[in-house]
Chain A
Amino acid sequence: AQSVTQLDSHVSVSEGTPVLLRCNYSSSYSPSLFWYVQHPNKGLQLLLKYTSAATLVKGINGFEAEFKKSETSFHLTKPSAHMSDAAEYFCVVSESRSSKIIFGSGTRLSIRP
């Protein structure tokens, strides 16, 4: 069975400081992992994805995530937060043998001026 846990429901950082959004997953088979961002009343935009290639994945808007199998983690980072990064972020896992994807509960990122 697959599952995904986002460890923080809300993260607040100052503009210009690093961002860390944590995600742990559980999967019986080789997982594909994704991070999506959702701005208020908008759909989801794909930030980045891991599909068994390089463990460090670079995405859009300066975000990146590192797949760590030993820690079953896929944390999202950004070196310097921007006001426009304020949004809801979802970590998503999908197994190679399943058509379903499982969403994390989401992390709301707030940026302080």
Chain B
Amino acid sequence: GAVVSQHPSWVICKSGTSVKIECRSLDFQATTMFWYRQFPKQSLMLMATSNEGSKATYEQGVEKDKFLINHASLTLSTLTVTSAHPEDSSFYICSARQGSGRAGPGTQYFGPGTRLTVL
């Protein structure tokens, strides 16, 4: 099946610093990538949708200047948490979609997640 990787798998940083998380589709081209945030014992919350070569679309309530998303190629999207604060500590998960077919939207394949802890 399709494989999506994330790097790093976990990161600890000081308050005020910026952290970059990479999401890669390893064996397919992903026209669309998604970034989610998951709080403990909760479901995934969609933060933004990014299409290769265009600006990301952010969900309501998500600060686009704080969570910078770049989708520079069909296999790589990055999420940068700028000036991170303890409340940004969370589990961040990306997903990549292979593309729509006649059966409907393509399946999303998820990365293993990145645990961010801001001290």
Contact = CB atoms under 8 A, between A and B. Distances in A.
Interface of A: 30-32, 34, 36, 41-46, 49, 51-53, 90, 94-96, 98-101, 103-106
B83 interface: no
B112 A42 contact: yes
B6 to A, nearest CB: 7
Interface residues of B, number: 23
A94 B107 CA distance: 9
B5 to A, nearest CB: 10
B93 A52 contact: no
A10 B75 CA distance: 36
A106 B43 contact: yes
17 contacts: A32-B104, A34-B107, A42-B112, A43-B6, A43-B110, A44-B44, A44-B95, A44-B110, A46-B1, A46-B110, A49-B107, A96-B105, A100-B46, A101-B46, A103-B43, A105-B43, A106-B43
Contact of B32 (A31, A44, A99): A99
Contacts of B104: 30-32, 51-52, 94-96
A20 to B, nearest CB: 20
Dominant secondary structure at the B interface: strand
B49 A99 contact: yes
Interface of B: 1, 4, 6, 32, 42-44, 46, 49, 91, 93, 95, 103-105, 107-113, 115
B44 A103 contact: yes
A41 B91 CA distance: 8
A96 B103 CA distance: 8
Contacts of A44: 44, 93, 95, 110
